[in-house]
Copies of this chain bind each other. A is one copy, B any other.
Amino acid sequence: MSYQTFAKRFAALNDLLNIANLLTWDFRVMMPPGGAETRGHQMATLMGMAQDMLMSDETLRVIGAAEDTVSGLSEGSVERRSVAHARAAVDLHRRIPPDLNRRRSALNLTGQGVWADSRARNDFATLRPVFEEHLAICRELAECIGYENHPHDAMISVYEPGADTASLGVLFAQLRAGLAPLVAEISAIAPPRTDFLHGDYPEDRQRSFARQIAEALGYDFRRGCLDTAPHPFEISQTREDVRITTRYHRNNIVSALQGTMHEVGHGLYEQNIDPDLTRGVLATDLLGLYGVGGISFGVHESQSRLWENQIGRSRGFWERHFGALHDLFPDTLSGVDAETFYRAYNCVRPGQIRVEADELTYDFHIMLRVEMERRLMDGSLRVADMPGAWADAMQHDLGLKVPDDRQGVLQDMQWSAGQFGIFCGYTIGNVLAAQIQGAAVAADPQIPFDLDLGDYARLRGWLTDNLYRHGRRYDRDETLHRITGQGMDAAPYIAYLTGKYREIYALG
């Protein structure tokens, strides 16, 4: 009975957070520009009610009663995990003073406006005080959240429970050692032909191909839709309504494809959560503040990366789907075959912009940011010195000179929204994608054959059984141990990249 009371209360909270997701989706996809101000009020009222509900004495009472009721169940049961997850969320929120939350929310919003403006004007000076205020707030927040070794650990724990600066340091060293020589070797070779990727691709046909690919990968349009947004994202209002977006540029087929497959990966995760968890604690981001999906940002990202890269950038995928693409754009792709397209789509070329980076250089962009975050958080790097530090890192890791701040420290939105700590999830996602994909193939050797036939159901089914359906029931390390029998390890990822790119570039 008490567990039912608990479940009912958190189902209502889940409803509010899912409504907030719809407001966010609408804000980014559909809302007329004039609506921004009143939408801000609506969001603030809604999230205020959700916060009040989470933090109320009644919720504490309900959690307490539920803890008693479920104490006899096994530790890993959905019920015990749900109650424990709720308790942890309330405890964390109670450690953060309401005023700090309000300052953070307000600055997250205004900061993004300042960022857009300063980026447009290539003027870091305008953004500098925003970063400084964000960092001051993050340092306060870190003290509230708590940490053992480094204030950055607290911020990382918000997005990536279980990770910290020390473990990331080890991971990054492993990646640098494994990938830097390969990048250097490939950079010395003449790149493959890629001109046709930037030919004429009318939007309506890109749209039709994107939908076709999403359907082929198993994204369920009865419970989702593929819309357009300047920055692709996935957002869900329960597993029954999981929306994804991509963008279309007439002279760039890569952008829409990557956006689609990446968000399909996130979407498959959300659409395949166990129906029994719907409206439950384990399907909800109770930390709504931070916008962390799934078990951790990195675990969720592992699935967008897996479908975007391991599948969507594979030779088998393009052998299967290039024909349909060619049929839609016969002039633009005249004389191009699947293998040529595959090589172009996987061209390695160090560049300034993270979101345009190829698979092999992508993590260097992340390592640069995470290391900068760490130094900003402990004060060993001042905000004013960020452009210089950026330039040094780009020179060191990718051998590039940074032409201006727009292509440097101003390129990403995340920090202006206060998300110091979020970037590590992208690389963790890459690493986990290789581990999880490896585990899937080891468990069911039929998977690669099905993939080559363009049949994604077997892989999707395995991922559903072993990962998606559990929602937040198991934490990252538990999940990894259940799937792979071990903890996070960059070796499979490095092996995957090395094998793939040595073959493409004929490095023997």
Contacts and interface: CB of A to CB of B under 8 A. Distances in A.
Interface in A469-502: none
Q: Interface size class for chain A?
A: 35 or more
A443 interface: no
24 contacts: A12-B45, A12-B48, A15-B45, A18-B38, A19-B19, A22-B22, A22-B23, A22-B26, A26-B26, A30-B30, A30-B225, A32-B222, A32-B225, A32-B241, A33-B222, A35-B237, A35-B240, A36-B240, A38-B238, A38-B240, A38-B279, A39-B241, A42-B237, A49-B49
Interface in A213-256: 220-225, 237-238, 240-241, 243
A504 interface: no
A35 B16 CA distance: 15
A46 interface: yes
A234 to B, nearest CB: 14
Contacts of A30: 30, 225
Nearest to A243: B32
Interface in A406-429: none
B221 A35 contact: no
Interface string A263-299: 0000000000000001100000000000000000000
A31 interface: yes
Nearest to A34: B223
A41 interface: yes
Contacts of A223: 32, 34-35
B31 A241 contact: yes
A221 B32 contact: yes
Interface in A34-72: 34-39, 41-42, 44-46, 48-49
Contacts of A42: 15, 18-19, 22, 237
A224 B32 contact: yes
Contacts of A33: 222
A17 to B, nearest CB: 10
A11 interface: yes
Given A11-B41, A38-B241, 17 more contacts: A12-B48, A15-B41, A15-B45, A15-B46, A16-B46, A19-B19, A19-B46, A22-B22, A22-B42, A26-B26, A30-B30, A30-B225, A32-B224, A32-B241, A34-B240, A35-B240, A35-B241
A37 B237 contact: no
Interface of A: 11-12, 15-16, 18-19, 22-23, 26, 30-39, 41-42, 44-46, 48-49, 220-225, 237-238, 240-241, 243, 278-279
Contacts of A237: 35, 38-39, 42
Contacts of A240: 34-38
Given A11-B41, A16-B45, A34 B279 contact: no
A179 to B, nearest CB: 40
A247 B39 CA distance: 27
Contacts of A221: 32
Q: Which of A42, A48, A49 has the most CB of B within 10 A?
A: A42
Nearest 5 A/B pairs, CB to CB: A35-B241, A34-B223, A15-B45, A38-B238, A15-B42
Contacts of A225: 30, 32
A431 B215 CA distance: 52
A241 B49 contact: no
Q: Which of A15, A223, A225 has the most CB of B within 10 A?
A: A15
B34 A222 contact: yes
Contacts of A238: 35, 38
A428 B12 CA distance: 41
Contacts of A45: 12, 15-16, 19
Nearest to A18: B42
Q: Which of A16, A224, A237 has the most CB of B within 10 A?
A: A237
A38 B31 CA distance: 22
